[in-house]
Structure 1
Amino acid sequence: MSDTRHAPAKKPSKNREKLLVAARRLFAERGYAGTGTEDIVREAGVTRGALYHQFADKQGLFRAMLEKMLPEIGERLFNETMARIKHDREDLKVGCRVLLGIYADPDVRRLFLIEGPAVLGLAGWKALQAPLSTLFLHHALQHLVDEGTLAAEEMEPVAELLAGALQQAGLGIANADDPQAARERYAAGLDLIVEGLMRRG
């Protein structure tokens, strides 16, 4: 598996967007291993040269596709959480449940949770999603710091532990025979952790 972390960024183009759209559809339908670059360029209506002008290889295209998905996940997480809460301190509990619901979405489950760790490796997959989970958890935990439930110096380790719990829940949902049932089990477990944290003070 090649390392594309240090490949220079290519100038955005219509071909790049076509390739990302095609890759997302085919990877979701057939999986990473079952999709060849020839399938992607044919679906996108571009040449192989256009693909390799934009991406170092298929793994680089896959990584870029996931990077493009992350803001979509973040926007959905924010909007659905804000629609469900009545008080800022509910951000954490509700947001965790919303995120697990997003993880159970078929495309997110297949691309982000099943193919992602397999293609990028567990460490690469965790690093890719770290900015999103950090933004969400720091925002939610800051409300608890502001109200005195959580000490400021406790926020970082608690955020790291919750990020790990959410990642593990995501992997559990991804590999479950019944993703929706698994989502409810993990949500109930996270509720216990979060409610215990919120009862402090």
Structure 2
Amino acid sequence: MTSSRAAPAKKPSRNREKLIEAARRLFAERGYAQVGTEEIVRAAGVTRGVLYHQFTDKRDLFRAVLERMLPEIGERLYTETMARIGHDRDDLQVGAQVLLRIYAEPEVRRLFLMEGPAVLGLAGWKALQAPLSTLFLDHALRHLVEEGLIGEGDMPALIELLSGALQQAALGIAAAEDPEAARAAYAAGLDRLIAGLMRGAGK
């Protein structure tokens, strides 16, 4: 029987950082299922007691790895998009392309796209990554509202639809034998979808 009380949040510590860094490296090299907790604590230079003081189990540690990756992906998405756009209205189209390129990178693809849904479950993975796409889409679509290309009331539905499209592209890249070819195909499709949205909105 499990308690309904939430576990207390762990304070940031160097040992916690060591475990996340070691687990991230090992999971990226060989995959979640092939790495045991004994190997992780050895690589981190800590004891099993330290691991279970900081994390409930290996799955909890894996989740922490993904939570560490999310702001890194978000920062790259913002920085690389800003470097490539010529106008605020380009945020959506350019940002979608940048995000898919990040998703196709080996570490991100393996940990975030392949292992993430398998370890956390599809619903858990979608809930974890939802804030990233929602924040990006809210920011990008707000520029289109400011320019009169879409209405404020259109935003919730468009965020949901485009977030679903980005999630499906991510899962498609993860499952593909040729991730780069899959990325290019999804990128082209999203580009046409977004271009069509903007043309239609401008009528």
- CA shift for structure 1 position 192: 1.0
Return 5+ residue gaps in structure 1 as ranges. none
Q: Which residue of 2 aligns with 1:127?
A: 127
Distance, in Å, in 2 between the alignment partners of 1:144 and 1:20 is 39
How large is the RMSD of aligned CA atoms in angstroms?
A: 1.0
Cα deviation code 1:18-71 (max 9, x no counterpart): 000000001011111111100100000100000000001111100011001000
The residue identity in structure 2 corresponding to 1:140 is A
Return 5+ residue gaps in structure 2 as ranges. none
Q: Which residue of 2 aligns with 1:112?
A: 112
- CA shift for structure 1 position 147: 0.9
Q: Which residue of 2 aligns with 1:91?
A: 91
Q: Which residue of 1 aligns with 2:195?
A: 195
Distance, in Å, in 1 between the alignment partners of 2:193 and 2:153 is 19
Structure 1 runs (4+) greater than 2 angstroms displaced = none
TM-score normalised by the chain length of structure 2: 0.95
Query: Are 1:104 and 1:180, in contact at CA under 8 Å, matched by a contact in 2?
Result: yes
Q: Which residue of 1 aligns with 2:38?
A: 38
- CA shift for structure 1 position 130: 1.1
Q: Which residue of 2 aligns with 1:166?
A: 166
Distance, in Å, in 2 between the alignment partners of 1:7 and 1:100 is 35
Q: Which residue of 1 aligns with 2:150?
A: 150
Distance, in Å, in 2 between the alignment partners of 1:31 and 1:126 is 20
Task: Work out the percentage of aligned pairs sharing the same amino acid.
Answer: 74
The 5-angstrom pairing of residues 49-68 of structure 1 reads 49-68=49-68
Aligned length: 197
